[in-house]
């Protein structure tokens, strides 16, 4: 792809008051709406499906049966020529197909063989998700042809057979090697555990409360993965010597703070990973730059934001500017996109804080935080989040955030609100 393929649009109020030193901008990155057809044989893509086969997957018996069916469904979606494998996870990790721990190349025969192997999966043993990730890492590393590497991880339980430190080490090992979409089936797994994995590995996390929903969800995830065509894309932020980056956050379609993942790419420049891109994707990023205040009337380039591949090829570029003014009408005008996404980031935060307070028995804090969430969801038009909140609180007045905690809340509803708290909506036109 060339620079013309991507667009980088900057939305900001560039005017700062005298002494102002923070420049905020929303960077909208859009990939081309049409992409070239995928080649018949595509060794540049590798997929690994990791299925929890611990003892808890036997209850209810439909759970392991639906997991097998979902894995078979996702294997059917894998394109010819794509490298793939299936891993079974317990307190250890075992290659299911191919059984030698390598990746197979998808064709009708290997897909059928994989489904046959998956049909024999039986639940037993414990749960050590770090072991599962480590095996996937070894398998991906042994297949250097792939530049797009993606895993799907399904679990129904907590990571009980290794320490949090061991899981953290495994996650760190896999960062930058492959992306991972995580799904929790049922309600006995930990949202924070899967969120840590999906966040670090630039994937998604969600709950599938009913095992019967697994096949459709898995197939959709794999179809999305098959649509990715540009790997390892980064947002490169250059600032002049009199400026520094305060934070970089993805704010649409989900909130993800990328600030701590900066890697230096040159003098005054740092790269923030965005993962792989498919055709027609659009994502928004909130960039905040700290500058040294200049005199009224002066203008400066606060940042140059580029989208780059590991090549590195520049796919698109935009400029963030700062102009100092003593015109209060100009300097106090808040850019609607910046205001909207600041509220969306706060919405995700107060939902998670409110649910944690509820879990700890602190009803006053939970009511205040979730009430604030209701008000933010109402103001921004985030109807999906508003519906999820209404299953956890009784809404008295959405506009003011007046709510009462429900006495009884279904575990699946609470976990759905938690896992989907970072999903955002775009600014209303």
- Nearest Cα neighbor of 47 from 79, 73, 70 is 79
| Together in a domain, 247 and 304 | yes
pLDDT of 1: 45
Are 382 and 364 contained in the same domain? yes
d(CA 36, CA 174): 29
Please give the Cα distance from 125 to 120 (Å, whole number): 16
With beta carbons less than 8 A apart as the criterion, state whether 252 and 341 touch.
yes
Q: Can you tell me the distance from the alpha carbon of 245 to that of 288, in angstroms, rounded to the nearest whole number? A: 6
Q: Which of 139, 86, 146, 128 is nearest to 111 (CA)?
A: 86
Distance CA 66, CA 211 (A): 6
**Would you say residue 283 lies in a domain?**
yes
Question: Is 429 part of a structural domain of the chain?
Answer: no
Task: Report if residue 427 sits inside a domain.
Answer: no
Nearest in space to 234 (alpha carbons), one of 262, 206, 207, 256: 262
Q: What pLDDT, on a 0 to 100 scale, did the predictor assign at position 229?
A: 86
- The CATH number of whichever domain residue 235 belongs to comes to 2.60.40.3670
Same structural domain, 412 and 327 = no
Domain of 392: which CATH number? Answer: 1.20.120.1690
Among 260, 251, 261, residue whose Cα is nearest residue 382: 251
Domain end marker among 186, 203, 226: 226
57 and 29 in a single domain? The answer is: no
Assigned domain for 424 exists:
no
Does residue 210 share a domain with residue 62?
Answer: yes
Q: Which of 337, 340, 419 has its CA nearest to residue 376?
A: 340
CA distances from 269 to 36, 234, 266 (A): 32, 12, 5
Residue that is last in its domain, among 303, 318, 333: 333
- What pLDDT, on the 0 to 100 scale, is given for residue 429? 54
User: Are 182 and 218 members of one domain?
Assistant: yes
Number of domains, the chain:
3
Same domain, 177 and 305: no
pLDDT of residue 4: 52
Residues 217 and 82 in one domain: yes
End position of a domain, from candidates 201, 226, 251? 226
Q: How far apart are CA 248 and CA 347, in angstroms?
A: 17
Same domain? 81 vs 175: yes
Q: What is the pLDDT of residue 428?
A: 66
DSSP 38: P
The pLDDT assigned to 304 comes to 98
Alpha carbon distance 282, 53 (integer Å): 36
Of 56, 72, 183, which is closest to residue 119 (Cα–Cα)? 72
Q: How far apart are CA 123 and CA 56, in angstroms?
A: 7
Any domain includes 39: no
pLDDT at residue number 43: 65
424, β-bridge pairs: none
Q: What is the pLDDT of residue 405?
A: 98
Beta strands 228-238 and 269-278 are: antiparallel
pLDDT of residue 37: 46
Largest CA-CA distance found in the chain, in angstroms, rounded: 73
Instruction: Yes or no: say if 303 and 289 are a contact pair by the CB < 8 Å rule.
Output: yes
Taking the model in full, what pTM does it have?
A: 0.94
**Residues 99, 177 within the same domain:** yes
Is 78 within 8 Å of 47 (Cβ atoms)? yes
In a shared domain, residues 165 and 300:
no
3-state SS class at 316: strand
Given a cut of 50, the residues of the chain with pLDDT beneath it are 1-3, 35, 37-41
Phi, psi of 359 (to 5 degrees): -65, -35
Identify whether residues 27 and 98 lie together within a single domain: no
Q: Give me the pLDDT at residue 32, please.
A: 87
Write down the pLDDT at residue 38.
47
Residue 247's domain comprises: 3-33+231-333
Nearest to 307 by CA among 335, 271, 339, 353: 271
């Amino acid at each position: 792809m060339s620079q013309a393929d991507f667009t980088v649009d900057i939305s900001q109020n560039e005017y700062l008051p005298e002494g102002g030193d923070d420049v905020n901008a929303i960077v909208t990155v859009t990939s081309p709406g049409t992409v070239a057809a995928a080649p018949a044989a595509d060794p540049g893509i590798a997929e690994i499906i990791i299925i929890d086969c611990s003892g808890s997957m036997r209850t209810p018996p439909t759970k392991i049966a639906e997991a097998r069916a979902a894995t078979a469904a996702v294997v059917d979606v894998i394109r010819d020529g794509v490298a793939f494998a299936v891993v079974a996870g317990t307190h250890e990790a075992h290659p299911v197909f191919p059984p030698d721990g390598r990746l197979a190349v998808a064709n009708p025969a290997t897909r059928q063989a994989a489904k046959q192997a998956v049909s024999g999966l039986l639940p037993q043993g414990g749960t050590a998700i770090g072991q599962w990730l480590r095996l996937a890492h070894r398998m991906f590393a042994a297949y250097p042809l792939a530049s797009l590497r993606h895993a799907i991880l399904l679990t129904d339980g907590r990571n009980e057979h290794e320490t949090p430190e061991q899981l953290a080490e495994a996650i760190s090992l896999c960062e930058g090697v492959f992306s991972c979409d995580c799904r929790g089936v049922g309600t006995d797994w930990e949202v924070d555990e899967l969120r840590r994995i999906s966040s670090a590995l630039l994937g998604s996390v969600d709950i599938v409360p009913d095992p019967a929903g697994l096949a459709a969800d898995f197939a959709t995830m794999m179809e999305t993965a098959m649509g990715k065509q540009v790997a390892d894309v980064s947002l490169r932020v250059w600032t002049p010597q009199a400026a520094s980056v305060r934070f970089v956050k993805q704010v649409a379609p989900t909130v993800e703070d990328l600030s701590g993942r900066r890697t230096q790419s040159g003098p005054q420049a740092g790269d923030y990973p965005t993962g792989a891109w498919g055709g027609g994707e659009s994502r928004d990023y909130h960039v905040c730059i700290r500058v040294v205040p200049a005199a009224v009337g002066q203008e400066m380039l606060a940042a140059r934001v580029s989208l780059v591949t590991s090549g590195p090829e520049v796919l698109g570029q935009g400029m963030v500017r700062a102009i100092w003014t003593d015109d209060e009408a100009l300097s106090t005008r808040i850019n609607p996109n910046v205001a909207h996404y600041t509220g969306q980031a706060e919405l995700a935060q107060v939902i998670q804080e409110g649910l944690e307070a509820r879990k700890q028995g602190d009803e006053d804090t939970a009511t205040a935080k979730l009430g604030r969430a209701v008000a933010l969801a109402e103001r921004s038009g985030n109807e999906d989040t508003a519906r999820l909140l209404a299953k956890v609180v009784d809404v008295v007045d959405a506009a003011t955030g007046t709510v009462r905690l429900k006495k009884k809340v279904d575990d699946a509803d609470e976990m759905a609100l938690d896992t989907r708290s970072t999903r955002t909506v775009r600014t209303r036109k």
